[in-house]
Structure 1
């Protein structure tokens, strides 16, 4: 803030862009979500085949954990496909 005679001039504070939530996590492993979100009786999404707890964990999971979640989802998907034959 500075004053010029009887006039007070305020200067806006420097604005920093907000730090993204969980910015320490690399986007190397993309989400398997396909926007067909429906949970079955076991709380598994019928679109991406992740368990609801895996979906909740996704944003804070590191790449290694994300790969494990994706592998488990793929196994669930293959199991459902085999049962459908």
Structure 2
């Protein structure tokens, strides 16, 4: 549905027939870490994320998975880190 509150006319997954269904019924402006991302857009003088209504929450537990301006870090040893639970299941199947 199209947003009718802050980002008027933008397709938003959080819009319902009753308005914005996100916490508080509104989108929140970007945080400093979002500067330089290609997903930010300006609406009514403030800058918002086009993909997520609360950008600060995306950065709480590390890097935002929507961020286009950062690169994923590689382990220093060059090896891929494997989930131990998945590794044990693979070993049990004989892979």
Question: Which bracket does the TM-score occupy, shorter chain normalised?
Answer: under 0.3
More strand by share: 2
| CA radius of gyration, larger in | 1
**Alignment TM-score, normalising by the size of structure 2:** 0.23
More helix by share: 1
Which structure would you say has the larger RCO, counting Cα contacts within 8 Å and 6 or more residues apart?
Answer: 1
